[in-house]
Chain A
Amino acid sequence: AQSVTQLGSHVSVSEGALVLLRCNYSSSVPPYLFWYVQYPNQGLQLLLKYTTGATLVKGINGFEAEFKKSETSFHLTKPSAHMSDAAEYFCAMRPNTGNQFYFGTGTSLTVIP
């Protein structure tokens, strides 16, 4: 069964510290992978997506994600957290066939001044 697991429903970091949000997927074939961000009372916006080629993907607002096939992971990182990064982050996958997307349960990021 296809699924996405996000470890840690809440993550707190100090301003300027490294942000690491974890995402693991379950799929027999490497799927298409995405990270979305949701600010309060808004819809989801794309942060970045994995396409074939380079395993390190750069997104908006200084975020990056690394695809590791052997670990079935697609963790999101940012070297230095900013107050404006406080939001809910969702990892999502779409299998190689079909139109459905599968979302993780989300990680709420708090940035401490």
Chain B
Amino acid sequence: NAGVTQTPKFQVLKTGQSMTLQCAQDMNHNSMYWYRQDPGMGLRLIYYSASEGTTDKGEVPNGYNVSRLNKREFSLRLESAAPSQTSVYFCASRGTGSYNEQFFGPGTRLTVL
């Protein structure tokens, strides 16, 4: 099992460019999440999807859109990148069950110039 995979690992964008971060999990999990990690701020939730076909905003959704393409895949799109979106982005998934933890991908390091 690969677990949670993310592509790309690194990306440099210019202000105003768009891109999509891809995430896939092979654990048959219902819930998937997108976080950003910035120094001193921990992980902040951007969007999450409790199940296929549903998405909800998290703490910092502005400037992002998401698509739950199917049960396996959950993508994050930046329509017009800004320097404030320079961050490390993590995707996570979680199975059904009260005590179930999240499983994280390796992250995408994004720089917006």
Q: Count contacts between A and B, CB distance < 8 Å.
A: 47
For A103, the chain B residues whose CB sits under 8 A away are 35, 42-44
Q: Is B99 in contact with A32, judged by CB distance below 8 angstroms?
A: yes
For B106, the chain A residues whose CB sits under 8 A away are 42-43
Q: How far is the CB of B54 from chain A (nearest CB, A)?
A: 10
Q: Is B50 in contact with A99, judged by CB distance below 8 angstroms?
A: yes
Q: Is B104 in contact with A45, judged by CB distance below 8 angstroms?
A: yes
Q: Is the interface of B mostly helix, strand, loop or mixed?
A: strand
For B48, the chain A residues whose CB sits under 8 A away are 99-100
**A43-B104 contact, Cβ under 8 Å, with A9-B40, A99-B48, A105-B41:** yes
For B35, the chain A residues whose CB sits under 8 A away are 103
Q: Is B58 in contact with A32, judged by CB distance below 8 angstroms?
A: no
A112 at the interface (CB under 8 A from B): no
Contact of A51 among B44, B94, B99, B105 (CB under 8 A): B99
A residues at B contact (CB < 8 Å): 9, 32, 34, 36, 41-46, 49, 51, 90, 92, 99-101, 103-106
Give 15 new A-B contacts, CB below 8 A, not counting A44-B90, A100-B45: A32-B99, A36-B104, A43-B4, A43-B104, A44-B43, A44-B92, A44-B104, A46-B101, A49-B101, A92-B102, A99-B48, A99-B94, A100-B58, A101-B45, A105-B42
